[in-house]
Chains A and B, each alone.
Chain A
């Protein structure tokens, strides 16, 4: 590199290529140490997600694909994707997603609903192999939906389980049944935490709130801001996770929620920590019956 080029680079600012600098509504949190769903990692042949306590062995020969989008305002996370190819054509891939059931656009209340909703919206040309039906994988209940597009030979094998009020879903798709079988077998070697804070839908109602300061959202953005809150056994807000918010909204909501106090949530008389969801901004979109298209 010539000296002139080095000097030029030292004084000239260049907008980097292939980087999203203007991010709009993004996830945010009240601290950076409490695990959040979108922060999974890939190492030593496994996908790990501390929030879900998930460790998933990547099938041999499958490669990590480009990362997905940020969490949506309806609580959909694309956690990761892996694929296996023969060099020219993808044989199979798996998309791991999570849908936060506090904010589901389809009104889903569990993994079973998520798969039923997918099945409901599929056109008639697909042939169904299975489900939705309940199966046991890695020692825990899953729901399975399998179908095929006869003309192209694409096959879907979808497995979804309920965890921390999310539907955690593994969607295997491909044309190569051996690769799909290998992918499906990999599920048996995953581990998924069974212990987690209790999740309680709509706990942030006036009946349960002892102290409350509304956030000052100065700008009318008309966006939906889903927020997941960890509340300790004393009813204090321990952690705040915004799935989708503009930075100034995150700041205002975190500042306000830190001062909220809830009635302790009790099970059999004992106060326990919980997770719940709150929507700020525009109320969440509620699915309507499909009319066309």
Chain B
């Protein structure tokens, strides 16, 4: 059989013909390059902290990091679980179990630790259907209070966290048994579509976010996309709050204190009581037998010295405050060009109207840095305006926090997004393209920007995805 030759003697003509053929092939759609591998580009201290400036600050960072990953038990007496005060209700047993991707201080890891938390140390909890080993860590909230049959009462917004587990059955639970305390009725909430989820927010660079002056948050903002800039505000002093999915927390210490109480059940100097579920609080409160410890369980350690004096809450906040922001990894050659193009295209379509590229942190006062030099007068490339925006019906969770309504969310900072596994407040997707498209729905401020994104060529969209995965 005679085999046809692709090219004859005229190699130039052949090359042109082949290249034309190549370009005539269907253009493949843009795809999320996926989780960026390699060394975690976050998790270490700010540079001045690494240099231990001012002296001893590095020991505060290290101590905070250690406490962040320490597993709590009820009495702190279980081997390897020396933290004190777990429960009586909890979602997980340490900060670091959930804030661990790609490094301690990050977000949900690939394997959901809540599965193991259900039965740790003899606990007799049932793993809810939405807690799955290979999916994101989930925090659950019921949207509305319910009647005796479990029907949501839409005139009674709830919105509080429903802890997944109780300490009943644990070897250190004492007389707190499952006859006294039970898990929320998640099956009923799912049946009534009365439940929403949140995943952990990463806290890298959180000290820089904390140190951005309000004046800078209020600057600029004119755009042709119909996007406004509204802020959530602290109910006590009216200043802009900035942490959490809805920017509901004013400071890192509030953020830490609330999470310690709500996610792990540890009362502390900011949230001083053991926390019942919202509906339990309306009824009889937590059973006395399940309040194993005096409160606050976490407090200033007056009998210790130096770095050990601070409470866990204070040290969690200090660790988060001193964590360096994620570093961008751009690659070389074509990858670098794509990332550069992608950042420009990201701005062209209008993403930066909310995912504002950078802000400068507060300038040092006379007399030197207040905490450490790397927190002051530095450009934070966080890709967020820290404002709350309407995100429409597609992303609405119908939870009001402060002034943030059912569909308003803080612009999620995008630094570190290249090494995040799950996206959006509920971790519904691990695909960046899907996350981008989810920004458009009825009532969303991002509709015009997503229309611009959908006007781009495949290669421009790919550049944006590559850029985001470099962050």
Contact = CB atoms under 8 A, between A and B. Distances in A.
A151 B404 contact: no
A152 B452 CA distance: 10
A22 B349 contact: no
Contacts of B405: 20, 22-25
B384 to A, nearest CB: 10
Nearest to B408: A24
A259 interface: no
Interface stretch (A136-144, A217-225, A270-278): A217-225
A83 B451 contact: yes
Nearest to B346: A152
Nearest to B455: A90
Contacts of B359: 291-293
Contact of B393 (A19, A65, A285): A19
B224 A70 contact: no
B238 A154 contact: no
A204 interface: no
Indicate the size class of the contact surface on chain B: 35 or more
A65 B447 CA distance: 8
B360 A291 contact: yes
B188 to A, nearest CB: 10
B187 to A, nearest CB: 13
Contacts of B444: 66, 68-69
A194 B389 CA distance: 34
Interface stretch (A9-17, A44-52, A207-215): A9-17
B233 interface: yes
Given A220-B235, A291-B219, A22 B400 contact: yes
Contacts of B456: 89, 152, 154, 175
Interface in A116-139: 117-118, 120-121, 123, 125
B452 A173 contact: yes
A292 B357 CA distance: 9
A82 to B, nearest CB: 10
Contacts of A195: none
A12 B151 contact: yes
B222 A282 contact: no
Interface in A66-122: 66-70, 72-74, 76-78, 81, 83, 85, 89-93, 95, 97, 105-106, 114, 117-118, 120-121
Interface of A: 11-25, 65-70, 72-74, 76-78, 81, 83, 85, 89-93, 95, 97, 105-106, 114, 117-118, 120-121, 123, 125, 149, 151-154, 156, 158, 169, 171, 173-175, 220-223, 282, 285-293
5 contacts: A21-B398, A22-B159, A67-B442, A152-B349, A154-B456
